[in-house]
Structure 1
Amino acid sequence: MVAFDLPKWSPDLTALESAKRGEKWAQRALESEAQIVARAMNGTRNNTLNNAAVKLGHKVAAGYLDPSEVEAALLQAAQANGLASESGADAALATIRSGLAKGMEEPQHPEDRPDYRRAPSLIVPQPERTSRFYSAADLDGRAVPARKWLVEGLVPQKNVTLFSGDGGTGKSLAALQMAVSTATGRAWLNIPVPKGRALFLSAEDDDDELHIRLDAIRRQMRLEWSDLGGLTLRSLAGEDALLAVETKIALMQTALFDEIEARAKDDQPSLIVLDTLADLFPANENDRAAVRQFIGILRGLALRQKCAVLLLGHPSLTGLSSGSGTSGSTAWNNSVRSRLYLERIVQDGYEPDPDKRVLSTKKANYGRIGGEMTLTWTEGVFLRDAEPQGLDALAAGAKGERVFLSLLREVTMQGRRVNAAGGLNYAPKVFADHPEAEGCTKKALRSAMEKLLASGKVKVVHGGSPSRPVTWLEAAE
């Protein structure tokens, strides 16, 4: 392929393009950091607020943000998470201004990133492919390879798993526990994990916070610090943590991504944890093409290094309300091979136990979906709750399926429609509020729905017009 120069822009157009890109980049950062602060867990809120202010201070110093708009947005977020009311608005504002001052010592522009300059000005040849065509008959006589897992049924090796949860639910803590289990060969939430090495990168928590959390995990697992030699940490808090940049052609991996892969080549980890998507992904989360390219970049890392990549993310408001845990484009769910979701147990706006969580399998290309486990936050770590066994477990599942089918038939006879996608007519939510729910919760009914769909006893019906398609549930005949 012959490379040729792209047309050069005038200096004025180049400057305008740079300014507009910087403003969009900074506004996206402001919205993301405000959300992270608003969702921060108790005990981490002041730290999170300071980190956010430092990151945004870089953009203020470069002229992309006004300090007053940053102060207002972060103060509002601190009020949303309760920090301002507990410590006082003045104390929260002091933290914000201190972080801003530190960040403003180093102005930051999009083009300042080393990887930015690698955006191609030429059309370059495609990399040489290693894949090849072959006949399926050639497999005759070869041993069938065993599918490899980091966590059986949940986290496959050589693939990307998306682990989502609302801010403050504790997904970072649960992921750090998984990394410790990998590095020590100890079970994670009572599930065996083969011993290997782990690489944990956090764009949210600073080194002190990682130290605090690791100490709690270490003490609960009765480990010495010397037992954690197989765990490599890096805090990117307050730094630009993008793993890719947008160009006119495609997403391109950054210098930071190259650093991570170089370290992975040295460490040979079984697990790489990337926390969190909002800091690492450079484009709009609704941009399907960019999402697929980004997951493709991470999948390439997983394949080359023969490890599991665990990407942490936040759900959208729709994903929260429906319980699906999705965010932005459906390409996030479609592109990964496994998706886990951690959520609080809330019924009709009431949370009976703030320390309880439910970890559910939302997608598993190589295993079963719909599985759930209940966790309890205890002394800084998550512990798995004992689950019903034998006949008790079968009875609970059978009851949920029976109630779901009964209520589905009832609402269908009434001419009403419920769906499996979410929103006001989300079947588990509608049925949990029904007088005949027999005490079944939305969680239990959601699990029942997944089992009934898998068994074919309930089906998804498609209708509506091409411009406004709709789906609803019906009991199979």
Structure 2
Amino acid sequence: MRFGTMTPAQNITRHFGGDWNGSQGAFPSPGHSKSDRGMTVKDANGGDVVFYSHNGGDWQAVKDECRRLGLLPERQRRPNGEVWRETGRYEYVDADGTVAYRTVRLEKAGERKRFTAQRPDGRGGWVNKLDPNAPRILYRLPDIIAADRASVVYLTEGERKADKLAGWGFVATAIAFGAKGWRDTYAKALADRTVIILPDNDDEGRAFADHASKSINQAGGKAFVLPLPDLPPKGDIIDWAGTPEELRSLADAILHPPVPMLPMLDPGAWQDQPAPARTWALHEWIPTRQATYLTGAGSAGKSLLSQQLATCVALGRSFLGVETRQSVAIYLTCEDDADELHRRQLAICAALNVSARELSGKLHLITLAGGIGNELATFDPQGRMATTEAWATLHATVMQTGAGFVALDNVAHLFAGNENIRNQVAAFCGLLNGLAADADASILFLGHPNKAGDSFSGSTAWENQVRSRLFLDQPRDSNGEALDPDARQLARAKANYARNGETIAFRWHQWAFVNEAELPPRIHAEMAANAQAGADNTIFLACLDERNRQGRAVSESKASRTYAPKEFVAMAESKGIGRGRLEAAMDRLFRTRAIERGVVGRHQGEGKDMIGLRRVPDDLPDDVPMAPSDDVPMTPRSRPKAHTPYLTDKGAGWPPAAPLVEDDLDWGDGL
């Protein structure tokens, strides 16, 4: 639309007493002298004009005045009478103080706000759209550069929000085009800064905060996300009703969170409350919510005991006369395969007189034999522990099955640390105790004694880090000899919650553990007789070894003045068992080819062999002749077969209940 023969910009220039030069006019800004030329105007497409203020004049007021005077047409209205209004211009100034670009904010009722980016045209005007190759900079960048390095920088999604914060006295910045406009290059200006990001209360705002915080942290800054409280949906700092002091308090809380205190119990709250009853998986032997350490000599039967105990817990049956707490049970082994677990379980079920079917869903057997990566935790060179995938799997298995009893066989496969380093053992035991607490379960983990004779391996760390430790062994005499190969005893080697030192005595019978008193009278009597026979055999051999060590040979002949049973009766090694039992022991040992008549030394001064009773050497060839007795000619001896430890009074060998080697079953240390 033209006024006369001049363009709208020319009319405006003339009205305000300005000068026209080329394509634009210049005239005084409101409030300035008539010679001022701080306001410029030029024609734009569509009959509109563009105003520029070069000295702080209010160009918007001048444009509105022109419309009132009729120098410009009224705004073009949409069919519904509404128009897009320009509600803000925001200049982005680089580190040199040069305006690099600006954004123009446009709003219309019922529509989402819009932003238009403009760059200088080099002639005092602006060109829509930014140069795609030009660098992007943060809003209010000079403020960030001028601020102390210790000052916190507040990052928002929009320029108007940053302006509000700056008006409150904060160092504030923003990016062009809101939440979706973040670029990782912005983080360079914040590389050594502490930044608090104030997201809008919507999904886009939270995504912006997450992206920007990661980018700033990767660039070397320290970013914190501070969601403002009590914001309406899609609200932001403009909508927030808080004060600058409240914002500083919120920021201080997120930058300097209080150090949490240890959880404390108030004993006064227990007044008039009964103490909770202690619970046990095995009453007064294995507490719940704790890890218990079971050790024992090789072939003592730790694995069998653990699997049998897990079976009793699963069924709610007593274990060797001791009450159990019924729960789902897990027995995990790293040493025995499924076939071995199968054989052992059927023997246990037979001893308990239950069917294997009754255990479905109650007892879970797990074998990791032959696998690698079974360690539950590893330790770095600084001794710090990290859990493994195997730990996560075990924890999930225990929690999802609801197990209340877990036996882990054994610690050598599950602990990857150094058992002589106390803090590593402590961390591992703490891990197992944590599992016990999480599952409200009892954890029984197995270990071996060390070669020095202690009942636990490694240093005293294991002993010190558990509240309960059990030791499985065979009853032994004063010389450490096990007199009965089937007898066992379980001792409380350490018990913080019960009396120390108590034992449970039981026996190995038909591949399971049983109370001796529960056996039928006939078997009980035979076992007792065989146990005594085995002990007497050991005593006879101890006496024989001592006499041969002294060079004082004994004879098997009653007519001889050195008849062995008669000579042994007076020895301390015979333990007072009497001549009759010594004679029976000698007979058994001859029958089992454990002793023979042979050379036991040399007669001093005579240069001839000393003949007497001796143990049968293990390494003699089959054709070595035995020494003759007075009425038996010398003949090549047959190689003695491996003998049973003792015989019945009928001379028949009682089948050894816990053989170290079995032809068809290799039980080994997996008893």
Q: TM-score range by the shorter chain?
A: 0.5 to 0.7
Aligned to 2:368: 236
Aligned to 2:307: 176
1:131 to partner: Cα distance: 5.8
Q: Whole-Å Cα distance in 1 between the matches of residues 406 and 261 of structure 2?
A: 24
Match of 2:496 among 338, 345, 365: 365
Please identify, of 266-275 and 339-348, the stretch whose mean Cα deviation from structure 2 is larger.
339-348
User: Which structure has more helix as a fraction of its residues?
Assistant: 1
Query: Which letter does structure 2 place at the counterpart of 1:235?
Result: T
Query: Which letter does structure 2 place at the counterpart of 1:202?
Result: T
Q: Whole-Å Cα distance in 2 between the matches of residues 310 and 198 of structure 1?
A: 11
1:194 to partner: Cα distance: 2.2
Matched, 1:332 2:480: no
Matched, 1:260 2:391: no
Does structure 2 retain, via aligned residues, the 8 Å contact 1:244–1:254?
Answer: yes
Q: Whole-Å Cα distance in 2 between the matches of residues 131 and 271 of structure 1?
A: 30
Query: Which letter does structure 2 place at the counterpart of 1:315?
Result: P
Q: Whole-Å Cα distance in 1 between the matches of residues 490 and 315 of structure 2?
A: 22
Q: Whole-Å Cα distance in 1 between the matches of residues 267 and 326 of structure 2?
A: 34
Query: Which letter does structure 1 place at the counterpart of 2:365?
Result: L
Aligned to 2:417: 283
Q: Whole-Å Cα distance in 2 between the matches of residues 302 and 222 of structure 1?
A: 30
The alpha-carbon distance between structure 1 residues 133 and 220, as it changes in their structure 2 partners (threshold 3 A), is: same
Q: Whole-Å Cα distance in 1 between the matches of residues 276 and 292 of structure 2?
A: 21
Please identify, of 172-181 and 376-385, the stretch whose mean Cα deviation from structure 2 is larger.
376-385
Does structure 2 retain, via aligned residues, the 8 Å contact 1:319–1:327?
Answer: no
Query: Which letter does structure 2 place at the counterpart of 1:144?
Result: A
Matched, 1:132 2:266: no
Q: Whole-Å Cα distance in 2 between the matches of residues 378 and 351 of structure 1?
A: 17
Indicate the SS of the match to 1:167. Answer: coil
Q: Whole-Å Cα distance in 1 between the matches of residues 313 and 287 of structure 2?
A: 13
Does structure 2 retain, via aligned residues, the 8 Å contact 1:373–1:385?
Answer: no
Query: Which letter does structure 1 place at the counterpart of 2:369?
Result: A
1:344 to partner: Cα distance: 2.1
The within-5 A match list for 1:178-217 is 178-217=309-348
Q: Whole-Å Cα distance in 1 between the matches of residues 301 and 325 of structure 2?
A: 23
Q: Whole-Å Cα distance in 1 between the matches of residues 318 and 446 of structure 2?
A: 20
Query: Which letter does structure 1 place at the counterpart of 2:364?
Result: T
Indicate the SS of the match to 1:311. Answer: strand
Matched, 1:295 2:412: no
Identity of aligned residues (%): 36
1:248 to partner: Cα distance: 3.6
Aligned to 1:344: 474
Aligned to 1:218: 349
Query: Which letter does structure 2 place at the counterpart of 1:168?
Result: S
1:428-449 superposed Cα distances (whole Å, 9 cap, x missing partner) = xxxxxxx79x99xxxxxxxxxx
Aligned to 2:451: 317
Q: Whole-Å Cα distance in 2 between the matches of residues 184 and 356 of structure 1?
A: 25
Does structure 1 retain, via aligned residues, the 8 Å contact 2:419–2:461?
Answer: no
1:350-400 superposed Cα distances (whole Å, 9 cap, x missing partner) = 43221111211111100001101222100010112349xxxxxxxxxxxxx
Does structure 2 retain, via aligned residues, the 8 Å contact 1:159–1:337?
Answer: yes
Structure with larger Rg? 2
1:196-250 superposed Cα distances (whole Å, 9 cap, x missing partner) = 1101110011111011000000111111122112011110100122111112451
TM-score by length of 2: 0.37
Q: Whole-Å Cα distance in 2 between the matches of residues 201 and 273 of structure 1?
A: 6
Indicate the SS of the match to 1:173. Answer: helix
The alpha-carbon distance between structure 1 residues 149 and 233, as it changes in their structure 2 partners (threshold 3 A), is: same
1:141 to partner: Cα distance: 3.3
Q: Whole-Å Cα distance in 1 between the matches of residues 515 and 461 of structure 2?
A: 31
Does 1 or 2 have the higher relative contact order (CA < 8 Å, sep 6+)?
1
The alpha-carbon distance between structure 1 residues 279 and 156, as it changes in their structure 2 partners (threshold 3 A), is: same
Does structure 1 retain, via aligned residues, the 8 Å contact 2:331–2:364?
Answer: yes
Q: Whole-Å Cα distance in 2 between the matches of residues 149 and 217 of structure 1?
A: 22
Indicate the SS of the match to 2:277. Answer: coil
Runs of 5+ unmatched residues, structure 2:
1-258, 519-571, 577-671
The alpha-carbon distance between structure 1 residues 129 and 316, as it changes in their structure 2 partners (threshold 3 A), is: farther
User: Which structure has more strand as a fraction of its residues?
Assistant: 2
1:158 to partner: Cα distance: 0.2
Does structure 1 retain, via aligned residues, the 8 Å contact 2:351–2:514?
Answer: no
Aligned to 2:506: 375
Query: Which letter does structure 2 place at the counterpart of 1:258?
Result: A
Does structure 1 retain, via aligned residues, the 8 Å contact 2:447–2:456?
Answer: no
Runs of 5+ unmatched residues, structure 1:
1-127, 388-434, 440-477
The within-5 A match list for 1:157-168 is 157-168=288-299
1:349 to partner: Cα distance: 5.6
The alpha-carbon distance between structure 1 residues 222 and 293, as it changes in their structure 2 partners (threshold 3 A), is: same
Does structure 2 retain, via aligned residues, the 8 Å contact 1:270–1:308?
Answer: yes
TM-score by length of 1: 0.52
1:345 to partner: Cα distance: 2.9
The alpha-carbon distance between structure 1 residues 157 and 130, as it changes in their structure 2 partners (threshold 3 A), is: farther
Does structure 2 retain, via aligned residues, the 8 Å contact 1:220–1:381?
Answer: yes
